[in-house]
A and B are shown apart, each in its own frame.
Chain A
Amino acid sequence: MRPAARRSPLPDSTLIGLHHEEEHHPELLHHFADAQQQRDSASLGMWVFLATEVMFFGGLFCAYLVYRRWYFPDFAAASSTINMWLGATNTAVLICSSLTVVLAVWAAQTARRTLLIVSLILTMLLGMAFLGIKGIEYKEKFDEHHVPGASFSFDKVQVPGHPDQYANPHHAQIFFSLYFVMTGLHALHMIIGLGIFLWLLIMAWKGRFTPEWHTPVEIGGLYWHFVDIVWIYLFPLLYLIDRHK
């Protein structure tokens, strides 16, 4: 139960950005009783949002599972044409970015402004490196006519381990459709994450984060970790099928 103190009828307007007029931390919004309640709410809000994100990607994972089970040889063949090493590099890049995010949160908690700024910049650089590598991969697929649509072609690609068997281009197209939708939506989440981190960087530059109030760094970090985790699932599911045995 939180304290019932410090409440009076508030004459002020409800327009965006206007706060309680009494003395308190400048970031405490008027409708919260105290900073603790505000931080708990923000944190719970992000966790709940991530639950919806799990369901968002969950629909795609469900479709993936169905077709992978139906068309396993074709999926393995299609998977063998995407560059595992670039995917593996990207996995490493994202794991490193998770480390820099954790460093950023710790720096904010312990009032290390320089470390905070450096960690945020490093995170963004790693995020951009990921997107750059992803772009190279997309370009490869584009050149190979593996992008689903009118110019898609996947002729005479052998099923791994079955030299006499060719993959069905229709089924391979389903693989590539799921590949592009899943990695595309993941990349979109990365781009949104970069936007969030740019905002965090500006706030950190201005010295707004203190050990008492650094909730945005925490929940921005939660979001970033979630996007990393999605990739941790995407990488083996999409890149490593032909290494199944």
Chain B
Amino acid sequence: MPQPAIAPPTIAQTAERENYLNAKYGVWSWLLTTDHKRIALLYLLSITFFFFIGGFFALLIRLELLTPAGDLVQADTYNKLFTMHGMVMVFFFLIPSIPAVLGNFLVPLMIGAKDLAFPRINLLSWYLYIIGGVMMLHCMLTGGVDTGWTFYAPFSTNYSNTNVVEAGLAIFVAGFSSILTGLNFVVTIHRMRAPGMTWSRLPLFIWAHYATSIVQLLGTPVLAVTLVLVAAERALHLGIFDPKLGGDPLLFQHLFWFYSHPAVYIMILPALGVESEIIACFSRKRIFGYSFVAFSSIAIAVFGFLVWAHHMFVAGTSVYSALVFSFLSYAVAVPSAIKVFNWTATLYKGSIHYDAPMLYAFGFLGLFTIGGLTGLFLAAIGIDVHVTDTYFVVAHFHYIMVGGAVMGYLGGMHFWWPKISGKLYPEGWARLAALIVFIGFNLTFFPQFLLGYMGMPRRYYDYSHMPEFQILNVLSTAGATVLGVGYLLPMLYFLWSMRYGKPAPDNPWNAAGLEWKTPSPPPTFNFDEEPVVTWEAYNYDELDSPDKDAPRGEEVPVAR
């Protein structure tokens, strides 16, 4: 570790201590655990499984698009591939990714609690996720579904001859898993903070998860009831979404996007929280504008509920509503920009270290900015009409969801891996992987911006009437291969490090935050003694000052 000012590892103590990993053995000690840290690991395994399933579909999609002709799969299969890629990645990987793994592990640790407020409900939400996941797998194995992840009516309700109801129910069940996670976080953050852990001392990771939880709690039920209506309509032909029977397919789109636009913030907000932690630590500075960054998370959650109809500019909504939603979509960019500017200001004159988590954070910063700015293109009605349903949209949301959320997730996994596993990952490999992911990502998705702007529509399996698009598609497919390697690497060396990695010290990054003040891996109840917080968040100036070993008992005056 080329990290100065690191406390020497206390290997002898960490190796022998009892911790949450070795406290109990056996399958039931995992399947019936209520320890938030163990549940986080259960989630880690399950979402990794679904990530590779979704990735497999993505690989087939990119392979098909390597050549203009539809030669690998037929249209029906291709429709199912992109549908199941979307459903698996959105509902079974991205939505639970950071909150259910890192959030589950870290929220109680960061606020100095022994566990989440409702440990059994936490376990229940993992089981709901698994039930939903098994239903999704069953749906795939029995023919799959071809509606696109958006379930647009009346195709999904009247015409599709695939297993729409089961896919909808799978997502319905998984949705309650997400709701219960959000509920647990909100109550835990309100009620379980350690003495002295005031709201203004909370790590920004916690603020981000609080905002995420609000979206999960208030958005997901609307999707749930919409899916109930879709299933009922499909079974009984009620006419609620069928224009032939007086129903309104636009109502479906309103209800669907009322959840599914804020869902994007469920994916990105936790990554923004991870970003704040990493940038502060590896710049060795207090985050610039703490309260602005904190409240911008809340602002994103609130504004995020008011922009859904920008997905429907070409669907026949009124021009006036389009104008309002366009304006509000611009407004939601403001808090996101506040974050990016504050991170940049944090870097300014910081003592920057280029460890693997920071490389991911830098990657995130650039990709999120590109993804966000192209979102503004799409919020402008004139451009949106031009590029609707083209690869421009595909590239835009992958820059947010993959370039943003997945980069944040990987950065966070590296940053907290020593705490989670008690082992150090191999730094050289990790930096290489970060680089590969960054290059592979841009090679995959930047050509898609160009393709989309030139007019290549999304969801086409055959573009033989426009062979001039092949070269960019070949680049994109090549990039996807590189990206795949970049994603496999961390999985391999994380697994390797669990057995062969060097034991991690309690605080390998010399980072601020309560989670670093307990052993790695933490004991079952997180802290040997209940922590009492007397310092502000991100007190890096204090950690790095020469007399950092001096007792720290009194209030530290830091301007807020």
Binding site for B on A (CB under 8 A): 1-2, 4, 7, 9-11, 13-16, 29-31, 33, 37, 40-41, 44-45, 48-49, 51-53, 55-60, 62-63, 66-67, 70-71, 148-150, 168, 170-171, 173-174, 177-178, 181, 185
Contact = CB atoms under 8 A, between A and B. Distances in A.
Interface in B15-72: 18, 20, 23-24, 28-29, 32-35, 38
Contacts of A44: 186-187, 190-191
Contacts of A14: 20, 23-24, 33-35, 38, 119, 524
Given A13-B524, A44-B190, A56-B222, 7 more contacts: A11-B18, A16-B32, A44-B187, A59-B222, A59-B226, A177-B232, A181-B229
Contacts of A41: 117-118, 187-188, 191-192
B499 interface: no
B532 interface: yes
A171 B255 CA distance: 20
Contact of B222 (A30, A33, A58, A171): A58
B221 A37 contact: no
B85 interface: no
Interface in B149-168: none
A16 to B, nearest CB: 6
Nearest to B528: A9
B32 A170 contact: no
Contact of B221 (A16, A29, A59): A59
A52 B239 contact: no
A30 B114 contact: yes
Interface stretch (B86-94, B246-254, B270-278, B317-325): B246-254
Nearest to A176: B238
Given A51-B218, A52-B220, A170 B251 contact: no
A29 B114 CA distance: 11
Interface of B: 18, 20, 23-24, 28-29, 32-35, 38, 113-115, 117-121, 123, 179, 183, 186-188, 190-192, 195-196, 217-222, 224-226, 228-229, 232-233, 236-240, 245-248, 251, 254-255, 258, 523-525, 528-530, 532
B287 to A, nearest CB: 25
B122 to A, nearest CB: 11
4 A-B pairs closest in CB distance: A56-B221, A177-B238, A31-B114, A31-B115
Contacts of B186: 44, 48
Nearest to A7: B530
Given A7-B530, A53-B221, A55-B218, A171 B187 contact: no
B222 A45 contact: no
A168 to B, nearest CB: 7
Contacts of B183: 45, 48-49, 52
A10 B187 contact: no
Contacts of B29: 13, 15
Contacts of B246: 70-71, 168, 170-171, 174
Contacts of B195: 1-2, 4
Most buried by B among A15, A40, A177: A177
Contact of B255 (A2, A37, A53, A62): A62
A66 B248 contact: yes
A168 B233 CA distance: 19
Contact of B228 (A48, A52, A181): A181
14 contacts: A13-B524, A16-B34, A31-B113, A44-B187, A48-B186, A52-B217, A55-B217, A56-B225, A58-B221, A59-B229, A60-B229, A62-B254, A148-B237, A181-B228
A71 to B, nearest CB: 7
B302 to A, nearest CB: 14
Given A9-B528, A66-B248, A149-B237, A15 B117 contact: no
Contact of B225 (A33, A57, A67, A149): A57
A138 to B, nearest CB: 15
B187 A48 contact: yes
Contacts of A33: 530
A152 to B, nearest CB: 9
B221 A55 contact: yes
A59 B220 CA distance: 11
B38 A4 contact: no
Most buried by B among A49, A51, A55: A55
A181 B240 CA distance: 11
Contact of A13 (B24, B237, B238): B24
A52 B525 contact: no
A174 B224 CA distance: 19
Contacts of B529: 7
Nearest to A14: B35
A161 B523 CA distance: 73
A22 to B, nearest CB: 13
Nearest to B241: A63
Contacts of A62: 254-255
Given A59-B221, A62-B255, A177-B232, A45 B528 contact: no
Contact of A15 (B33, B113, B115, B229): B33
Contacts of A45: 117-118, 121, 183, 187
Contact of A16 (B120, B224, B258): B120
A64 B398 CA distance: 35
A57 B528 CA distance: 45
Contacts of A59: 221-222, 225-226, 229, 255, 258
B224 A56 contact: yes
B236 A148 contact: yes
A13 B23 contact: yes
Nearest to A74: B246
Nearest to A61: B225
A63 B525 contact: no
A1 B18 CA distance: 30
A60 B113 CA distance: 38
Nearest to A9: B528
A101 B253 CA distance: 40
